[in-house]
Amino acid sequence: MTQKKNITVGGIELKWDLDSGEVLFEGGDVVFFWVSAMKTFFDTIKEISGVEATNLVLETTGFRQGIIVGEGFAEMKHIDTSNIVEWISDTYAPAGWGKVEIVKMDEKNNTFTLHIQDDWEYKLNQLDEKQTEGIFVPSHYAGVLTGIFGINFWYKTLQYQNSENPYSIVEYFPSDVTVQRNIHELSRRQEAEQINKLELLVNENTQMLQKLVKELSSPIIPVLEGIIVVPMIGTYDEERAEDLIYKTLSHLPKHQANYLLLDLTGLNKNITAHTAELIDKLGASARLLGTEVILVGVSPELALIISQTLTSLKKFECLQSLQHGIYYALGKSGRRIV
């Protein structure tokens, strides 16, 4: 036995054919979903894509589906401003989209104000503890108007339906805003967010490296009573130079240092006028604290550079190796290694 059923609700014809599994709405195939099933579908998109991307998907999909509906019904029903008020209410209520009513229309400026009540998206959001506000349905009607009138419409939600408001109030108006532009703007925002995250990560790592460099470079090494060694390695910019001076001078009283051996081995031929000025400044400051500065690790090449260009360093005692410097400092203090 063939099981077919035809009904008409509000002038809209629905047909069921249980043998073929077809359901037709105004001659077109439709599919019915439980609201809870749709919530699972949207929740899955949100879980995979994130809230912002999901909202854009809902808005874009609703708008584009609305265009298809608007263009299709404009051809079938010859819809214009004279009958759109009646048509939009009679069409969407039988389809389970709740009650929608155009309460204000300005034909001259092509603006519309809609009251949307108890639509399926509102019911879906009621199942969500966060009480998400509608996106798909309001944007859908913007697409419907765009499809009917052939000009791009956009929308602004003035009021959302909730426990205090019996319906949503949405304004529709011609606009240059397009879903394509919204997609591009989202992409740019996401790119900017990723760049900001990378910049923050780079800054954090840079600060960590700078801190590590400060801790590892130019360590304070007490070798014997009253004698400390500070190896100088690499190049010294203004910040690193100030850090070296402050760190070294603050440790001299702590170790009761009479002799400060600056080991220049790590500088080799890379010593510059700026580094020489740093050594001179450190030596003058140390003398004020009663500590004599001795330069050790002076290679023949470095000795030549000091004698020819960095003459300010000639005032310091210069020795070839750290061992010589330790023996020299011990001898001046009247001690020796036995």
* pLDDT at 212 (0 to 100): 67
* pLDDT at 130 (0 to 100): 62
- Name all domains of the chain by residue range, CATH numbers in brackets: 1-32 (no CATH), 34-177 (3.30.1380.20), 218-332 (3.30.750.24)
Chain Cα centroid distance, residue 26: 47
* pLDDT at 220 (0 to 100): 85
Amino acid at 202: V
* pLDDT at 190 (0 to 100): 58
CA-to-CA distance for 25 and 13, rounded, in angstroms?
A: 6
Three-state secondary structure readout of the chain: CCCEEEEEECCEEEEEECCCCEEEECCEECCCCCHHHHHHHHHHHHHHHCHHHHHHHHHHHHHHHHHHHHHHHHHHHCCCCCCHHHHHHHHHCCCCCCEEEEEEEECCCCEEEEEEECCHHHHHHHCCCCCCCCCHHHHHHHHHHHHHHCCCEEEEEEECCCCCCCCEEEEEEECCCCHHHHHHHHHHHHHHHHHHHHHHHHHHHHHHHHHHHHHHCCCCEEEECCEEEEECCCCCCHHHHHHHHHHHHHHCCCCCCCEEEEECCCCCCCCCHHHHHHHHHHHHHHHHCCCEEEEECCCHHHHHHHHHCCHHHHHCEECCCHHHHHHHHHHHCCCCCC
* pLDDT at 295 (0 to 100): 93
Cα–Cα nearest to 267, from 217, 204, 200: 217
pLDDT tens string, the chain, 338 residues long: the values are 557 778 777 677 778 877 777 878 777 777 777 778 888 888 888 888 888 888 888 888 889 899 888 888 777 767 777 778 888 888 888 778 889 999 999 988 989 999 999 999 998 888 876 667 888 999 999 999 999 898 999 999 999 998 899 999 999 999 887 766 656 665 665 566 676 777 777 778 777 777 766 666 668 889 888 999 998 887 788 888 888 888 899 989 988 999 999 998 887 666 788 888 889 999 999 999 999 999 998 888 888 888 888 888 888 999 989 999 999 999 888 877 66
